Amino acid sequence: MEDIVLEDISQEIEDIFYPYVKIRSDTFTKHENDVSKFLMNFFGDIDYFKENPHHYGLFPIEDDALKRSVSWALIKGEGEDTVVLIHHNDTVGIEDFKGFKSYAYEPKKLEKELINYRENLSRKAEEDLLSGNYIFGRGTADMKAGGSIQLALLKRYSTVENFKGNVLVLSVPDEENLSAGMRSAVLLLDKLRKDYNLDYKLMINSEPHQRVQKDVGILSEGSVGKIMPFVYVRGLLSHAGKVFEGLNPVNILSEIVRKTELNVELLDFIDGEASPPPTWLYLRDRKEHYDVSMPLSVGGCFSILTFNKEPNEIMKKVKEISLDAFNNVIEGMNESFRFYQDKRNKKYKFLPWKSKVVTFNELHEEAYENYGVDFLKEYKKVLNKIINQIKTNEISMIEGNLDLVDTIFEYIKDLSPRVVIGLVPPYYPNVSNIYFDGLDDELKNISRDIMRCAKKEFNQEYVREYFYTGISDLSYSSIKNSKVIEKSLLNSMALFNELYTLPLEEVENNSMPCINVGPWGKDFHKLTERVLKEDLFVRTPKLLNYTISRVLGW
């Protein structure tokens, strides 16, 4: 069967790849719908789907402002065992393409233009360009290469008689933003499982991998989790000439940033792998115009990547750090005030500040205790307005979240300074096959077998890692303790189940092992994004087909 599937598949992949890349599909834009049209035409032209039109389609993302959908196609064979292939079809924008924007989605034209510009490229990018071994262009690596391979294999599988097992392809939008596509695909997976009596054995993503050693490929048996705490600090106003009469929230948040940015205490370590350290993504004061007063409040959010931590554990640590930072600021202010008073021959006494850190939910409850249903009515009104503003891209998710905190403070009687912490969407669970008990030998040893295949067929070394650290939709392949996680998100995430939904119970019901088998790519999201031709056309199709055959027992 391998000969039927792989014979001349390089040409099949090429015929899919260039038209796929040519479709502009900037994330969180209407352009993503153009990909859905392309895919429906692609599936509809295949004889198998002409005969089985109910085996492919679009699954609309509920309440999506852009009316986007998940594209899916199922080869239904013998038995219940099913392999799920996923890839995202959105790409990042082309702001950095400068004068090359008109060539961003046409690799062959872009290559000619870049050759004339090569002196301005990095040394490695110039070498790869001149070698002719790579294809440059937006989406070539991330990730229409992997998607094209999956589509080509699906088309080949559709011609096999008495096909054993089932192969389901999901092409999702919005991976580069909030993973609305994959979160909706979870519901689709649940529906298809019931409708077609499917037993999900493995989810395979084909994100491009990056290499530490140029001759060693990487297989990922999981994906890093991501959580985004927000920190809002309310100070006390004073004139810039009366600094000790107020408390500048910038000072407190700056200390929290210093204590969290790249903080190794927030890393996860597993068997020689480490999650990347946290970093701040957004930070600003809440002043809308200039005056000589210190700002009343500031806010921001940062990203924490996880291997095995759940939201509750992380938020407990963030609260400890924030309290410690608040205490440090008060201590430092008192030292400054003491020195200041000594120089003025004035009597010193401790400043009145006391540290206080609360969660978003605690702040909300305090406002309700103060004003009851009057607060709830106003909060709901503001919440609906903010949701509409986010949907129409007037404000960002974090800005909307901080606006909600501002609203709650209108109903807080205690005006003393405090820190408010919570979570901003999205939430990506950390997943890995090491968390599964009792896996079949085929799944337990899948990476080892792929590595042996690569060595035998291509004399190419591969290594296995437990976590893909680039963040991916594989995060929604499995979860444990969905009820516990849901409770922690409800307590910390203002927009959870309002604007941002995550079907945690369905993720847990559909839980399956996962792996990333993708081509070698470089410079994702950059002008010099590129994918290795050998991986795209030869090596990855072979390894991906081998993986599927092992799981389905061909």
What's the average model confidence in pLDDT over 383-390?
96
Digit-coded pLDDT (tens) for 424-471: 999 999 999 999 998 988 899 999 999 999 999 999 999 999 999 999
Digit-coded pLDDT (tens) for 29-57: 999 999 999 999 999 999 999 999 999 99
Q: Tokens 């002008």 — which residue? A: 527
pLDDT at 339 over 80: yes
Digit-coded pLDDT (tens) for 169-194: 999 999 999 999 999 999 999 999 99
* Residue that terminates a domain, selected from 427, 455, 490: 427
Q: Tokens 């809308």 — which residue? A: 288
What's the average model confidence in pLDDT over 341-368?
95
* Residue that terminates a domain, selected from 394, 427, 460: 427
In whole angstroms, give the CA distance from residue 68 to residue 182: 12
417: left (phi over 0), alpha (psi -120 to 50) or beta: beta
In terms of domains, do 450 and 317 share one?
A: no
In terms of domains, do 392 and 347 share one?
A: yes
**Can you give the CATH number for the domain in which 461 is found?**
3.40.630.10
In whole angstroms, give the CA distance from residue 70 to residue 468: 23
Is there a contact between 116 and 83 (Cβ–Cβ < 8 Å)?
A: no
Residue 158 lies in a domain: yes
Residue 39 lies in a domain: yes
Query: pLDDT higher for 65 or 515?
Result: 515
Is there a contact between 176 and 92 (Cβ–Cβ < 8 Å)?
A: yes
Residue 367 lies in a domain: yes
What's the average model confidence in pLDDT over 527-543?
98
* Alpha-carbon separation of residue 54 from 49, 57, 58, 142, 192 (angstroms): 8, 7, 11, 30, 11
- Give the model's pLDDT for residue 4: 83
In terms of domains, do 219 and 261 share one?
A: no
Structure tokens at 128: 């790869």
Q: Is the Cα dihedral 378, 383, 389, 394 positive or negative?
A: positive
Residue 99 lies in a domain: no
pLDDT at 372 over 90: yes
- Give the model's pLDDT for residue 203: 98
pLDDT at 240 over 90: no
**Can you give the CATH number for the domain in which 371 is found?**
3.30.70.360
Domain count along the chain: 2
Residue 490 lies in a domain: no
In terms of domains, do 26 and 76 share one?
A: yes
In terms of domains, do 271 and 400 share one?
A: yes
pLDDT at 290 over 90: no
Phi, psi of 220 (to 5 degrees): -115, 120
Beta pairing partners, 229: 423
In terms of domains, do 268 and 203 share one?
A: no
- Give the model's pLDDT for residue 241: 81
Host domain of residue 282: 226-427
pLDDT classification of 292: cutoffs 50, 70, 90: confident
pLDDT at 101 over 80: yes
Range name among 124-138, 237-251, 461-475 with the lowest pLDDT average: 237-251
From the list 387, 361, 392, 362, the residue with the least C-alpha distance to 500 is 387
In terms of domains, do 153 and 287 share one?
A: no
From the list 128, 137, 130, 132, the residue with the least C-alpha distance to 101 is 137
Phi, psi of 275 (to 5 degrees): -70, 145
In terms of domains, do 19 and 78 share one?
A: yes
- Give the model's pLDDT for residue 291: 81
In whole angstroms, give the CA distance from residue 156 to residue 145: 17
Is there a contact between 97 and 90 (Cβ–Cβ < 8 Å)?
A: no
Residue 38 lies in a domain: yes
What's the average model confidence in pLDDT over 335-342?
93
Q: Is the Cα dihedral 18, 22, 27, 31 positive or negative?
A: negative
pLDDT at 102 over 90: yes
pLDDT at 476 over 80: yes
What's the average model confidence in pLDDT over 156-162?
96
In terms of domains, do 345 and 407 share one?
A: yes
In terms of domains, do 213 and 172 share one?
A: yes
In terms of domains, do 40 and 189 share one?
A: yes
pLDDT at 3 over 80: no
Q: Where are the beta strands (DSSP E) in 206-278?
A: 216-220, 222-223, 225-234, 269-270, 273-274
- Give the model's pLDDT for residue 288: 82
In terms of domains, do 202 and 234 share one?
A: no
pLDDT at 289 over 90: no
